[in-house]
């Protein structure tokens, strides 16, 4: 019986190869054409879903909407996908279609705070402030979105309820202290109330915050330029001015800049600080995990990537990277379902397919050694489906079928192994 194990060195070499395909830009993979005539409706829908989430990550909402709509055309009961479709329409400014989809999600779920939030936003954009107030008030205790107070205060301002507008805009100022638009609206409220000094104070604060945003944009540009043209030590003089422990946006931008220029060690600190400020950001968790992964600090990469997958279960790039991380930690049994899901989301990605093959054949061998033949058969069949040209897979399948007393299948697999060895001699 042929036995093969994958050494630590082999795993590292394979992960080094994979790393080149999972950069910040390349991780948002472009998919090859998918033959939708093959596979079940749910399998094909999963591919559309995978494409859709990656496109949303790149803010390509029109293309993402097409993918989500295609998935729903195959499996209409995918409520989470319908929600994403509604969000895409909202971001595209198609309020009618967005409302239709959100209302269907609402009927199917019995009411979700996030759906109510968007319906309130649509009401506000359509000029129905009173309806928006009812929607927002019904979920204000959930704090589903950090800008909920801002939109509720804005809605009250639209109906000239200045007292409530001030109340919720002040709450918004505490929740999002660096948002200049909150203070713009507070200045309007105080003007309406005839409180001139308070209005001027809010206007001045808003102006300073707008100026700070412009300064940050300039620093981002300068940091990117210096990283591209100067040694790291020189560039850091500029870039570290973005390292504001209280500003999640600046930290995320700094982490992305360092990572995009290959300085993953430097990217870790700002991304780690950003994750402490917003632990629910898929982007931050994914990029932090990616930075650790590229540094081969797989144990540290695992937590952020698990969090990213929990937040966005159908995001291919996060699943692929988590599966690779678990493989690097020699957690093959845990790696297998993650890589299988990633492969289902993007069957065209050769690197994930190869990694899933390695994990499948390794687990198949392990189960065969333990005489758990039924489990071994599952993994080896997966390996055979992923790569039809490897003789060893068929030799192992022959062993399993022999152990199960299925001689006809064992003979067939042995012949296939021989045929492949003759066709592709080493």
Residues in contact with 382: Cβ distance below 8 Å, sequence separation at least 6, in sequence order? 340, 356, 360, 364
For residue 384, what are the domain limits? Answer: 1-21+306-426
Residue 34 has pLDDT above 80, yes or no: no
* Residue 357, domain member (yes or no): yes
* Residue 351, domain member (yes or no): yes
* Residue 50, domain member (yes or no): no
Query: How would you class 91 by CB atoms within 10 Å of its CB: exposed for 0-12, middle for 13-18, buried for 19 or more?
Result: middle
* Number of compact structural domains in the chain: 1
- pLDDT of 142: 83
CATH value at residue 400? 1.25.40.10
Query: How would you class 40 by CB atoms within 10 Å of its CB: exposed for 0-12, middle for 13-18, buried for 19 or more?
Result: exposed
pLDDT in tens, 234-248: 999 999 999 999 999
* Residue 266, domain member (yes or no): no
Helices 316-328, 332-345: axis angle to 10 degrees equals 160
- Among 17-21, 82-86, 124-128, which is the least confidently predicted range? 17-21
* Residue 72, domain member (yes or no): no
Mean pLDDT computed over every residue of the chain: 89
What burial letters (b/e) apply to 292-316, b meaning 16+ CB within 10 Å?
A: bbbeebbebbbebbbbbbebbebbb
- pLDDT of 145: 85
Residue 144 has pLDDT above 80, yes or no: no
Neighbours of 239 (CB within 10 A): 25
* Residue 423, domain member (yes or no): yes
Q: Residue 81 and residue 63: Cα distance in Å, rounded?
A: 14
- Across residues 179-203, what is the average pLDDT? 95
- Across residues 6-23, what is the average pLDDT? 39
- pLDDT of 295: 97
pLDDT in tens, 68-102: 999 999 999 999 999 999 999 999 999 999 999 99
28 vs 73, residue with greater confidence: 73
pLDDT band at residue 39 using 50, 70 and 90 as cut-offs: low
* Residue 242, domain member (yes or no): no
pLDDT in tens, 273-326: 999 999 999 999 999 999 999 999 999 999 999 999 999 999 999 999 999 999
402 vs 22, residue with greater confidence: 402
Asked if residue 274 lies in contact with residue 251, where contact means CB atoms within 8 angstroms, the answer is: yes
pTM of the model: 0.82
Q: How far is C-alpha 135 from the geometric centre of its chain's CA atoms? A: 28
* Residue 406, domain member (yes or no): yes
pLDDT band at residue 421 using 50, 70 and 90 as cut-offs: confident
């Amino acid at each position: 019986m042929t036995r093969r194990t994958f050494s630590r060195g082999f795993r590292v070499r394979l992960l080094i190869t994979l790393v080149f395909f999972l950069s910040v830009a390349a991780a948002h993979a472009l998919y090859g054409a998918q033959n939708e005539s093959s596979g079940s409706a749910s399998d094909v829908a999963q591919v559309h879903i995978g494409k859709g989430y990656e496109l949303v990550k790149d803010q390509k909402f029109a293309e993402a909407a097409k993918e989500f709509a295609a998935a729903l055309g195959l499996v209409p009961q995918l409520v989470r996908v319908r929600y994403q479709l509604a969000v895409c329409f909202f971001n595209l400014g198609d309020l009618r279609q967005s409302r239709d989809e959100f209302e269907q999600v609402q009927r199917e779920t019995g009411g979700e705070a996030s759906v109510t939030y968007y319906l309130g936003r649509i009401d506000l954009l359509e000029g129905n402030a009173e309806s928006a107030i009812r929607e927002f008030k019904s979920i204000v205790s959930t704090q589903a979105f950090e800008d909920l107070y801002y939109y509720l205060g804005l809605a009250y301002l639209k109906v000239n309820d200045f007292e409530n507008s001030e109340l919720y805009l002040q709450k918004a100022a505490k929740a999002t202290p660096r948002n200049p638009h909150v203070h713009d609206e507070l200045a309007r409220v105080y003007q309406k109330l005839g409180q001139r000094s308070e209005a001027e104070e809010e206007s001045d604060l808003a102006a300073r915050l707008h100026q700070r945003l412009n300064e940050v944009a300039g620093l981002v540009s300068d940091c990117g330029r210096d990283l591209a043209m100067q040694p790291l030590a020189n560039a850091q003089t500029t870039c570290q001015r973005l390292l504001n422990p209280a500003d999640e946006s600046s930290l995320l931008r700094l982490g992305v800049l360092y990572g995009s220029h290959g300085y993953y060690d430097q990217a870790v600190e700002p991304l780690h600080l950003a994750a402490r400020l917003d632990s629910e950001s898929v982007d931050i968790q994914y990029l932090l995990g990616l930075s650790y992964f590229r540094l081969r600090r797989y144990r540290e990469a695992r937590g952020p990537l698990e969090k990213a997958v929990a937040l966005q279960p159908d995001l291919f790039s996060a699943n692929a990277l988590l599966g690779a991380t678990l493989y690097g930690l020699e957690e093959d049994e845990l790696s297998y379902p993650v890589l299988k899901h990633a492969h289902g989301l993007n069957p065209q990605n050769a690197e994930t397919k190869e990694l899933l093959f390695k994990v499948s054949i390794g687990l198949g061998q392990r189960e065969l050694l333990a005489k758990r033949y039924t489990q071994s058969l599952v993994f080896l069949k997966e390996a055979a489906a992923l790569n039809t040209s490897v003789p060893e897979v068929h030799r192992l399948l022959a062993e399993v079928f022999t152990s199960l007393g299925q001689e006809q299948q064992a003979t067939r697999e042995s012949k296939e192994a021989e045929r492949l060895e003759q066709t592709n001699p080493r």
